[in-house]
Amino acid sequence: MKELKKIVVKVLNIDEIEVNDTLTMENAKQWDSFNHLLLISEIEKEMSITFSIQEVEKIKSFKDLREIVLDKGR
Amino acid sequence: MSKINEKEKLGISDYFNLYRKLKNKPNNGKYEKLKIAILSSFTANGIKEVLFVKCNKLGINCDFYVGNYNQHSQEVLDKNSGLHKFKPDLTILFIDARSIFGNKYLLPYGMDDKSRKTFAEEKLQEINSLVEKLKLNSKAKILLHNFEVPAFSPLGILENKQKFGFVESVEALNSELRAAFKNDEQVFVFDYDAFCSKIGKNNAIDYKMYYLGDMKLNLQFIPELCEEYLGYVKPLASITRKCIVLDLDNTLWGGITGEDGLGGIKLGPTPEGRPFMEFQQYLLSLFNRGVILAINSKNNYDDAIEVFRKHPHMALKEDNFAAMQINWNDKIANMKVIAEELNIGIGSFVFIDDDKANRQMIREAFPEINVVEMPEDPSLYLKTLIDLNDFNAFQITEEDGKRGHMYVQQRKRTEAQKSSTNLAGFLKSLNMVVTAERANKFSIPRISQLTQKTNQFNMTTRRYMEDAIKKFSEDKNFLVFSVKVEDKFGDNGITGAAIVKKGKDAWSIDAFLLSCRIIGRKVEETLLAYIAREAKKAGAKKITADFIPTNKNSVAKGFYKSSGFNIVKKENEKEVWEYDPEKNYKFPDFIKFMEK
């Protein structure tokens, strides 16, 4: 989970403390549709996992992201 | 200044973060602001940010204009578009094969051979006319992407049996584009297909991202793409390196010559020797295109020279090096001597050394030098060298191509001069031939370049663009000529020029200059003697000449005085000198003068 947080911090350019289950695409101003894809691309590269298109579209918050990554065994 | 270290490899999101940090910093670059426009047929996010950061690291400040999503044609055609208002210096036109082919990209055989051919021809026409329109409204250099040749075909193994196949049609587009702009000074075709091959066509597209965000190039490769763009940005910002300074042990060959001996070093057609042999071969190739080579090595001179003279697999010979500092002095001191000997700016150097500590030392002492981060593994030396994009120019004159050779000849002259006891004897022994030639379409670019670049022996330091030189040369009232200097060591090429206004009574010298390579060899006297002779022939009563001092041309200061000119006035700093052609200015007798 630490690794995932690190990537979110880097891509969204926010403080680590802000990366928690309350973080959503709605309330994070940097989390636009482009950064969303950048985030996915970086997670796939750094953590050697892949997302499906449906998963990418379903993720709307850090909580969603965390759960899907967890599902993938990471 | 912050400590400069070996650069670590940055990922795409590092670039985005650096961009956010740097974009609002005040303009502190030493170069003019460069304006770059990016027009693409798809979502090209990231190019601006990465290119900005890469340029910033080189001291280049950039402004960007990113065209709207798939609006490249409208932007080009509309004279009042944001693109034209922006007035770019460089326009990148990135149209991808999928956009061009539309739904025919996956259904190419829905058409017959003939329609496919017509289709490709139409597309070529469209691109050509778009580029022509762009040229009409813009002076920017245009970087035109060619198209990724598909690595697939619905026809499988029969693809290459078609009369005019799908793959062939993309290849044809690419080769037609190359042909169309081969001689165009404004348009440069960027080989995007080669770029895709380099990163691997399977990696170039991330299908998921393409379906989600119409990204035609995997985001992770944007830094690589921008690195390729830098090859064009650098010459635009006048960052062009001229000389590679090389270490010897474990750089040009494997092992240490002082310890392993001539037979023990690794160099030649063996698994351990080939990396060094091929590294040398490519260096030789760079030398042949005009890159100057030099050596900065801590070594016993005799041990090292023995390798150059006796090792059968040395591609590089002593004759390829314009300066050789092989001794036990420190590398910084040697670097200073090399820069002084070659008389080129410190920013013109690239430094290659296998030793990390040496690299760090040079990097700290000379931040302007490009210190190449050499890989630990010698088998990657060649790749590292190939990837350098530091030696590009939009145009090279014949002299540029011969530069590497000329600097070697210069070293030999200097050595000969050191060993001869008097200057007159040395100059005589050179068997110099100076050839004057009226400006023509072959020499005009070089004459213009000389007025732009010559600082030392330059009487007036007036800078002229090619157009201006061309105008002078077509004017009957002007004499514009260049001189070529040859001697027993080789051809120096065009290394001097003058522009003279031919008045009825008085001829006045507007520009008079010599490249630093041939200062001190009385070539200037030959030039002046030629002008005086022509003036006399034309019946001129006097020759007037200005000397405008700058902080770099002191070497030229006493020249008119020692040539028998009289000073007639001094306006501020400018001196005006006069000469009576009847005095028959003498050609130096040891120089053979010719007129072409």
- Does the pLDDT of residue B138 top 90, yes or no? no
Task: Find out whether B276 and B266 touch, Cβ atoms under 8 Å.
Answer: yes
Is some CB atom of chain A closer than 8 A to the CB atom of B209?
Answer: yes
Residue B418: CA count within 13 A, CB half-sphere: 6
Contact (CB<8Å) B12/A42: yes
Closest residue in B to A51 (Cα) is B208
What number is the average pLDDT over the span B144-168? Answer: 95
Is some CB atom of chain B closer than 8 A to the CB atom of A51?
Answer: yes
Q: What's the confidence (pLDDT) of residue B551?
A: 87
Q: What is the mean pLDDT of chain B?
A: 92
- Does the pLDDT of residue B1 top 50, yes or no? no
Residues B173-204: tens digit of each pLDDT: 999 999 999 989 899 999 999 999 999 999 99
Residues B308-366: tens digit of each pLDDT: 999 999 999 999 999 999 999 999 999 999 999 998 889 899 999 999 999 999 999 99
Domains of chain B: 12-236 (3.40.50.1110), 243-387 (3.40.50.1000), 423-595 (3.40.630.30)
Q: What's the confidence (pLDDT) of residue B31?
A: 58
Residue B474's CB is within 10 A of a number of other CB atoms, namely: 10
Residues B421-445: tens digit of each pLDDT: 788 888 888 899 999 999 998 899 8
Closest residue in B to A37 (Cα) is B209
Task: Find out whether B366 and B338 touch, Cβ atoms under 8 Å.
Answer: no
**What is the Cα–Cα distance from B539 to B542, expressed in whole angstroms?**
9
Structure tokens at B583: 């005095």
Q: What's the confidence (pLDDT) of residue B5?
A: 47
Residues of A in contact with B12 (CB under 8 A): 38, 41-42
Task: Find out whether B390 and B350 touch, Cβ atoms under 8 Å.
Answer: yes
Is some CB atom of chain B closer than 8 A to the CB atom of A11?
Answer: yes
Full-model pTM: 0.79
Q: What's the confidence (pLDDT) of residue B243?
A: 96
Residue B74: CA count within 13 A, CB half-sphere: 8
Between the alpha carbon of residue B116 and those of residues B130, B164, B504, B561, the distances in Å are: 21, 7, 68, 74
Q: How many helices (H) and strands (E) does chain A have?
A: 4, 0
Residue B69: CA count within 13 A, CB half-sphere: 6
- For B17, the closest of A10, A34, A56 (CB atoms) is A10
Q: What's the confidence (pLDDT) of residue B32?
A: 65
Residues of A in contact with B47 (CB under 8 A): none
Residue B402 pLDDT grade (very low, low, confident, very high; cuts 50, 70, 90): confident
Q: What's the confidence (pLDDT) of residue B287?
A: 95
To the nearest whole Å, the CA of B370 is away from the closest chain A CA by: 29
- What are the DSSP calls for B29-66, one per residue? -SSPPEEEEEEESS--TTHHHHHHHHHHHTT--EEEEE
Outline where DSSP puts E strands in B504-559: 506-514, 542-547
Residues B512-568: tens digit of each pLDDT: 999 988 888 899 999 999 999 999 999 999 999 999 999 889 999 999 999 999 999
Residues B267-285: tens digit of each pLDDT: 999 999 999 999 999 999 9
DSSP-derived 3-state class of residue B28: coil
DSSP-derived 3-state class of residue B16: helix
- What are the DSSP calls for B77-101, one per residue? H-TTSHHHHH--SEEEEE--HHHHH
To the nearest whole Å, the CA of A13 is away from the closest chain B CA by: 7
Q: What's the confidence (pLDDT) of residue B3?
A: 40
Q: How many Cβ contacts (< 8 angstroms) between chains A and B?
A: 43
Residues of B in contact with A3 (CB under 8 A): none
What number is the average pLDDT over the span B103-118? Answer: 92
Is some CB atom of chain A closer than 8 A to the CB atom of B214?
Answer: no
- Does the pLDDT of residue B24 top 90, yes or no? no
Contact (CB<8Å) A38/B13: yes
Contact (CB<8Å) A42/B13: yes
Q: What's the confidence (pLDDT) of residue B29?
A: 56
DSSP-derived 3-state class of residue B492: strand
Q: What's the confidence (pLDDT) of residue B2?
A: 36
- For A56, the closest of B11, B212, B215 (CB atoms) is B212
- For B209, the closest of A7, A11, A41 (CB atoms) is A41
Q: What's the confidence (pLDDT) of residue B279?
A: 98
What number is the average pLDDT over the span A59-69? Answer: 96
Residue B383 pLDDT grade (very low, low, confident, very high; cuts 50, 70, 90): very high
Residues of B in contact with A54 (CB under 8 A): none
Residues of B in contact with A42 (CB under 8 A): 11-13
Q: What's the confidence (pLDDT) of residue B406?
A: 87
Between the alpha carbon of residue B527 and those of residues A27, B311, B495, B521, the distances in Å are: 76, 45, 11, 12
User: Which is higher by pLDDT, A35 or B25?
Assistant: A35
Contact (CB<8Å) A37/B219: yes
Contact (CB<8Å) B208/A56: yes
Residue B471 pLDDT grade (very low, low, confident, very high; cuts 50, 70, 90): very high
Q: Which ipTM did the prediction report?
A: 0.94
User: Which is higher by pLDDT, B5 or B321?
Assistant: B321
Which helix (H) or strand (E) segment holds residue B188: the answer is: strand B187-190
Residue B226 pLDDT grade (very low, low, confident, very high; cuts 50, 70, 90): very high
DSSP-derived 3-state class of residue B570: strand
- For B211, the closest of A7, A34, A53 (CB atoms) is A53
- For B212, the closest of A7, A10, A37 (CB atoms) is A37
**What is the Cα–Cα distance from B241 to B235, expressed in whole angstroms?**
9
Contact (CB<8Å) A41/B212: no
Q: What share of chain A in percent tops pLDDT 70?
A: 100
Domains of chain A: 2-71 (1.10.1200.10)
